[in-house]
Amino acid sequence: MLVYILGVALFALGICVSVALHEAGHMLTAKAFGMKVRRYFVGFGPTIFSFRRGETEYGLKAIPLGGFCDIAGMTALDEVTPDEAPRAMYRFKTWKRTVVLSAGSFTHFVLGFIVLYLMAITMGLPNLTNKPVVDEVSQCVRGGTTAEQINNPVCQPGDPAPALAAGVQSGDEIVSVGGTPTPQWSDLLVAVQGASGPTEVEVLRDGETMTLTVDVPRVTRPADNGGTEQVGAIGVAPASLLPYGPVAALGGSLSFTGDMLVETWNRLLEFPERIPAVVEAIFGGERDPNTPVSVVGASRIGGEAVEQGLWEVFLFLLASLNFFVGIFNLLPLLPLDGGHIAVTWYERVRDWFRKLRGKVPGGPVDYTKLNAVTAVIVVIGGAVVLLTVTADIVNPIRLSP
């Protein structure tokens, strides 16, 4: 239990750091462009401590559930003093305001990449593409009519160990079997099951390709029709994580980041249709592991991962959360940063059309006209948060039953 609590606290700390750096992204870019940053605080509620350096007050508040960066004149409705007016954010060029507003999300993307890079060089990245990389080389291969017989770890005298005898090693990528390319593990299975006797197996090891001769035996396995069949087997298990060196990990992590961003966007599009399943889970239905989770649920899963020693799950979840927050925050909805970006570019496009018609710029958008829409979005967002938090308390997603 203590390890679980430590894992929950550690994941929550990771979230707090992410939020703090999100706001730091806004602050640093705003300062770089000459905007005035009044305050930078981590957390909400009562102030624990604060200090002033230059024109900015920095501090920590009691409730570590967010943070804020107070930039003078973020909208034209914000009150600014006469000395702040020339440096009010709304007076700056559109591209500069866009950079500042998107810097928070960009920080999440960078953090997600860094987490993935650390995974890549320490434990590897998830093998989502099903590459035929070997994790374990079996001491023997066994036939049988049941899964228990086939998976019996006790080898008997005379049981063949074809991959082991041929020199196949953990981390090898099997690129062909008997001249047949094997781009995925499923292709490897088909090629091996159809092989018999001495077979050339091409492997990629430490960047070098080599050819091994594997004497493939035919063993008895259960068939799909309920009977048995004779198939080839060599005794290798797939790797769920793909290892990388420090240099190769840069490209691997960048590519994996792109894949995760696409997957996160797809999951975000599916978000509304998964809400009914969350409601059902609250009232006793089985919790679908693909339903949305709150920060509470993510922290609980992080705690279970640490408790079970699954640090790859912990880090992958932390990276996933950063990518989700980064993309979600860019949605063109107020009060999200993406909503402010949308308003900023609306002003730019509107003034461009006004210029074509010989008119002067229209000035900053009146945010009071958007208050009703913003309020609706806040209420909907609050309801979703309440639902997911409730589900994560009464019927949480667990790594194991």
Q: Give the residue numbers marked as catalytic.
A: 23
b/e per residue, 17-38, with b = 16+ CB within 10 A? ebbbbbbbbbbbbbbebebbbe
Rounded-to-integer distance, Cα 85 and Cα 339, Å? 23
123 with 171: CB under 8 angstroms? no
Strand partners for 213: 200
The count of residues in the chain is 401
How big, in percent rounded to 5, are the helix, strand and coil portions of the chain? 50, 20, 30
Using DSSP's 3-state secondary structure scheme, residue 224 falls into coil
Rounded-to-integer distance, Cα 105 and Cα 21, Å? 10
Q: Which helix (H) or strand (E) holds 165?
A: helix 162-166
Rounded-to-integer distance, Cα 337 and Cα 347, Å? 16
Q: Which helix (H) or strand (E) holds 354?
A: helix 337-356
Q: Output the furthest CA–CA distance in the chain (Å, rounded).
A: 92
> Which stretches of 97-235 are assigned E, i.e. beta strand?
125-126, 134-137, 173-177, 180-181, 197-205, 208-216, 218-222, 228-232
> Which stretches of 144-196 are assigned E, i.e. beta strand?
173-177, 180-181
CB neighbour list of residue 66: distance below 8 Å, 6 or more residues apart: 19, 43, 44
The 3 state secondary structure assigned to 225-280 is CCCEEEEECCCEEECCEECCCCCHHHHHHHHHHHHHHHHHHHHHHHHHHHHHHHHH
